[in-house]
Amino acid sequence: MAASRKFIIGLTGNIATGKSVVRKMLEHLGAYGIDADALAHRVIAKDAPGYQPVVNQFGKFVLDSEGWVDRAKLGKLVFSNAAALAKLEGIVHPYVGKAVDHLVKITPHHVVVVEAIKLLESPLRDKVDTIWVTSSSEENQIKRLAEKRGISEDEARQRMAHQSPQKEKVSAASVIIRNDGSFEETWDQVQEAWIYLFPDASTVDTVEIPAVPKPLEPSVDLSRVDLKVVRAKPGQAEDIADLVNRLSGGKTNLNRMDIMAAFGEKAYTLLVTGERMIGIVGWQVENLVARIDEIHLEKGLNLAEALKVLMAEIEEASRQLQAEAVLVFVEPGLVQRNGTWSSLGYKPRSIDELRINAWKEAARESWVDGTDMLFKQLRVDRVLRPL
């Protein structure tokens, strides 16, 4: 594949079959992930071009008390009416297609994965080089919809009934990922398919830095040690669980499979000295906003230096993923007790103080109860403004 050529994986599958988990796995392997369904949500935000057409088509009934499109109300309407769903898709899909084209063009990554539940029914199908399909049992689909979206079994079945049969998607697939087992079983399938497509690429699933190879000597001054940061890999899940449990002071009791499952939602960046992990940050970029919801650091570290090197790495990675801003969820009062965050450009913000509606929506989706939110803008220009 030529350096300038983008190889595009089209990832689809019916609702609650694990598409987003597989997209995250491909991101761990080096792909740039685009969630077309999240872009569809962004298209109908207050300041977005699809907002008014949706209101004109479906009425103010679909708005919440603050004037946002209430996706739950809209979903109940369109998933029970095929004609209404077609009208919504007619509004949203053209904008999503333009957004995907733009993101593919500007990303420096050579492999892109586009997740879209309607991939095969939309023009996106003709833009991808290979089609991957996730499949799952109906029982597991209903269970996931109940657990993650809080909808009833009847509503889950209704939504599933308004999608094309799973077997039609499977028949169009170059790669089928069976997602009824553990995260690890799914990860193995994704790695195997990745190696088949890119035989010269590494799966980068190596264990190089154990969490606790040996205790630090009492004389070691952590405030003076050399620090570096590395991207954690799923193969380090057991060591990461040990690290988080140790740094949480017994507040957590995570195991290897807990961390493997977490890799289906986020990335981990490790803080290392020598051969020892001494800190970890859990983060993700979704819908062009970076979100940090886990920070664990060894006591005795120079906090200013540790956060400086960690955030520099995460911000650069987030920029590579086209993130416009970073949201950090921290324990209450942390900013007031320590000026390090403000020196790095992070300011306390409420949701209402965020000036871009897409950022507000990201904050609503990601807010962690019992925390304060810090905000930093990574770029002045909006990634999708050209649209």
CATH code of the domain containing 161: 3.40.50.300
* Number of residues written out for the chain: 387
CATH number at residue 312: 3.40.630.30
Last residue of a domain, one of 180, 197, 214: 197
| Same structural domain, 170 and 231 | no
175 and 299 assigned to the same domain: no
**pLDDT at position 230 over 50:** yes
Q: How confident is the model at residue 148 (pLDDT cuts 50, 70, 90)?
A: confident
**60 falls within a domain:** yes
Q: What is the pLDDT of residue 204?
A: 52
Does residue 247 form part of some domain? yes
Query: Scanning the structure block, which residue is given the tokens 């029982």?
Result: 139
R_g of the chain computed on alpha carbons: 22
pLDDT in tens, 265-294: 999 999 999 878 999 999 999 999 999 999
Residues 176 and 232 in one domain: no
Instruction: Let me know whether 129 and 236 are in one domain.
Output: no
**Tally of domains within the chain:** 2
* Boundary-marking domain end, from 197, 231, 258: 197
Quote the pLDDT of residue 80: 82
Give pLDDT, residue 181.
Answer: 92
Residue 1 has pLDDT above 70, yes or no: no
> Taking all residues of the chain, what is their mean pLDDT, rounded to a whole number?
90
Q: Which domain holds residue 43?
A: 7-197
pLDDT at 368 over 90: no
Residue 385 placed within a domain: no
In this prediction, residue 2 carries a pLDDT of: 38
Give CA 188 to chain center in angstroms: 20
Residue 207 pLDDT level (bands cut at 50, 70, 90): very low
Tokens read off for 215: 């205790």
Is there a single domain that holds both residue 233 and residue 266?
A: yes
49 plus 124 within the same structural domain: yes
Does residue 382 fall inside a structural domain?
no
Whether residues 193 and 226 share a domain: the answer is no
Which pTM does this prediction carry? 0.90
Q: Give the tokens for residue 305.
A: 């230096």
Dihedral (CA of 368, 44, 40, 346) sign:
negative
* Tokens coding 332: 């209450």
205 within domain boundaries: no
- How would you class 3 by CB atoms within 10 Å of its CB: exposed for 0-12, middle for 13-18, buried for 19 or more? exposed
Is the pLDDT assigned to residue 210 strictly greater than 80?
no
- Is 303 within the bounds of a domain? yes
